Structure 1
Amino acid sequence: MREIPIGRFGRIVAGEEEGYFLHVDFDAKDTGGYYVYFVDDIDNPSAGGDHWAENVEELHRVFDSSEWQIEWSDRYCDHAVRS
């Protein structure tokens, strides 16, 4: 199973939402699951969306079904909770 960084921004270079940026947030407080947020621009987003996964196995299924190829950056979301 590949590693999916929590809280780290990545650019989707292939697959659904190609060209968008994403980051994964672990929602330990409310759901215990994972949110995958994606936006068209990190600093000034004007469009985007999200996916929710109940657990890490489902998170991997979300990534696999979206056929995302991601270039991960060194930048992290200030608000993301890392597991």
Structure 2
Amino acid sequence: MIRIGRVGEIISGDESGKFVKIDELPDSPPSYLILLAYDRAFSSGCGDYWVEDQESLEQFFDEGRWVVNWEGEST
């Protein structure tokens, strides 16, 4: 499950080894900013992507074959 506002480590798929955080933007319906970095603090190798809705967010994760270990959860 994709977690909004929580940091996760991509453990499999494209971008494996990077950290990800999803921010929900105040659009109607909401759009999403996908933040990526090499560290949990998002201070090294940062980048971002934007998707227009929840369905696009799920497709983005599927296309990258991302398996994410979200902080506070085990895989």
Normalised TM-score (structure 2): 0.84
In structure 2, what is the equivalent of residue 27 of structure 1?
A: 25
CA distance in 2, matches of 1:46, 1:8: 18
Taking every aligned residue pair, what percent have the same amino acid on both sides?
A: 34
Show structure 1 runs of 5+ residues with no match: 75-83
Structure 1 counterpart of 2:70, from 60, 67, 72: 72
Q: CA RMSD in A?
A: 1.9
Show structure 2 runs of 5+ residues with no match: none
In structure 1, what is the equivalent of residue 45 of structure 2?
A: 47
- Tell me the SS of whatever aligns to 1:10: strand
Choose between structure 1 and 2 for higher RCO, CA contacts under 8 A separated by at least 6 residues: 1
Moved over 6 A (4+): none
